[in-house]
């Protein structure tokens, strides 16, 4: 049980480390005016949804344990359409 927890923790740590390099800042300023017209009552719009499922085999399952484990990672990019910021001299 302890060995599985350590392995699972290392896998999650490695995945989070590798995925930290994949995030990039995107500019949506040209699309915001169009989205405000399409969705006038919305505060935010979900631009994209990415769901990744990683499957791992349990090489030595004990009785009652699953032979396959899955780790699900979700990434959602949400773009605010309303201007909530009153001050532009700080990062919020």
**pLDDT tens across the length of the chain (92 residues):** 566 665 666 666 565 555 554 555 677 778 888 888 888 888 888 888 899 999 999 888 888 888 998 999 998 888 887 776 555 555 55
β-bridge partners, 68: 57
d(CA 36, CA 83): 11
What secondary structure, in 3-state letters, does 3-52 show? Answer: HHHHHHHHHHHHHHHHHCCCCCCCCCHHHHHHHHHHCCCCCEEEEEEEEE
Backbone angles phi, psi at 50, to 5 degrees: -125, 120
């Amino acid at each position: 049980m302890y060995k599985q927890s350590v392995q699972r923790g290392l896998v999650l740590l490695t995945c989070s480390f590798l995925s930290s390099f994949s995030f990039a800042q995107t500019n949506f300023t040209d699309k915001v005016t169009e989205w405000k017209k399409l969705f006038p009552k919305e505060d935010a719009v979900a631009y994209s949804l990415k769901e990744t499922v990683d499957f791992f085999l349990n090489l030595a399952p004990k009785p009652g344990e699953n032979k396959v484990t899955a780790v699900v990672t979700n990434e959602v990019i949400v773009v605010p359409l309303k201007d909530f910021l009153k001050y532009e001299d700080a990062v919020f």
